[in-house]
Amino acid sequence: MTVELRHLRAFLAITHEGTITRAASRLHVTQPALSRTVSQLEAHLGVRLIDRSTHHLRLTAAGRAFQPRAAAAVAAVDQALDPARAGAWPLRLGHAWSALGEHTPPLLRRWKQDHPQIPLQLLRVDDRTAGLDHGTVDVAVIRGEVNLPAEVETAALLAEPRVAAVAADGPLAGKPRLSLHDLSAELIAVNTVAGTTTLDLWPAEQTPFDTIEVAITDDWIAAITTGQAVGVTTTATAAMYPNPAVVYRPLSDAPAVTVRLAWRLPPSHPSVLDLVALARQIVTAPQTKTGGNG
C-alpha cells in the first residue's frame, strides 16, 4: 500500500480531536472511513499508533513518536503547495517568546542583506519547541531544558541573565537589583506553556505561596502591569517587551537561561545552517546599547 497525505491527515485529526467522531466531522468523512484509513496507515508501518481499547483514544508509544514526523511531513507539503509561496522558499525561524532579544533586529537585518533571495520569517509559536515538533518552522529558538527528539540538532548561542519583572508603580520597582527572596512574598506569574520559570527556582524555605498561570507572554505582561503579580524572565523579554508600566530589575541569585537553536536532521530548508552560523556571529558581536525599562 502507498501511504498518501490523507492517511497522515486522518491520524493527526484523531490526535488533535481525541475521538473518531470529532475527527471524522473535522475531515468531513464517515467514522468507518476514517477508521479504515488509520488502520491502513498502521498496517503500512507495522505498528499500532492509537489504542482503541478505551472510550477515549490514546496514542501508543509508537504513535507518540510518529506524531511529530507526521505533522512535519504534512506541514512541508502544505508549504510546498502554497500558491502564495510559489516564487520563494522562506526560511522559518520559530520562537515561543522574545525571539533572540536584543540580537533579533541585527539578525533580521543581516539576513536580508546577505540572503536577499531567501525571506526569513520570524514566527511566534506558543509551545515549548516553538513549532519544531509540528513542522511549522525550520529552526527554533529554545530556552532552558526541553525534551527534543533524537533527530534534532542544537547549537548553544548564549546564556541570558534572569531578571525580575515588576509593576512600575510598585514598591519593588524602587530597588536597583532584586533577589528571589524579594519576590517570595509575591504572587508569581508563570507561563505554563513555554516559560522557563517554575517555583522550583526558589529555595524550599523561600517558595512563593502561589502562582498565576498564563499561556502566552501578553497575558504574563498584563498580570504584571496591574500589580497583580510579579514575574521572572530573561533580559530578552526586557528588550522585546518594553512597557512603561513594567520595570525589569537584575535578579542577583537566579541562574542564567541557556538559549539554543534547534533544527531537524536532515534540515527542512537548505539555508538552516547558514542561519545558525549567522546567529552565532550576531550574538558574539558587540551590541549597541539603547535605553529601556530597567
pLDDT of 216-268, one tens digit each? Answer: 999 999 999 999 999 999 999 999 999 999 999 999 999 999 999 999 998 98
Cα torsion 171, 173, 179, 180: sign: positive
Return the pLDDT at 294: 39
Lowest mean pLDDT among 68-77, 153-162, 209-218, 261-270: 68-77
Contact 199, 211 (CB under 8 A): yes
- Enter the C-alpha cell of residue 72: 512535519
Beta carbons within 8 Å of 118's beta carbon, 6+ residues apart: 88, 89, 90, 91, 111, 271
Predicted local confidence at residue 1, as pLDDT? 65
Q: Rounded to whole angstroms, how far apart are CA atoms 190 and 219?
A: 10
* pLDDT at residue 2, as a whole number: 81
C-alpha distances out from residue 281 to 15, 71, 95, 159, 273, Å = 40, 32, 19, 15, 12
pTM of the model: 0.73
* Residue 15, C-alpha cell as written in the block: 490526535
Cβ–Cβ < 8 Å for 141, 135: no
Burial class (CB within 10 angstroms; exposed 0-12, middle 13-18, buried 19+) of 161:
middle
Q: Please measure the distance between the N-terminal and C-terminal CA atoms of the chain and give it in whole angstroms.
A: 61
- Cell numbers 514526523 correspond to 69
Share of the chain above pLDDT 70, in %: 94
Alpha helices in 18-60 (DSSP H): 20-27, 31-45
Average pLDDT in the 201-205 region? 94
Of the pLDDT bands very low, low, confident and very high (cuts 50, 70, 90), residue 76 is confident
Contact call for residues 106 and 282 (beta carbons, < 8 A): yes
CA 262 remoteness from chain centre? 11
Give the per-residue pLDDT at 63. Answer: 92
What pLDDT is stored for residue 86 in this prediction? Answer: 58
In this structure, the number of other CB atoms found within 10 A of the CB of residue 99 comes to 22
Average the pLDDT over 52-71 and give the result.
84
pLDDT score, position 287: 63
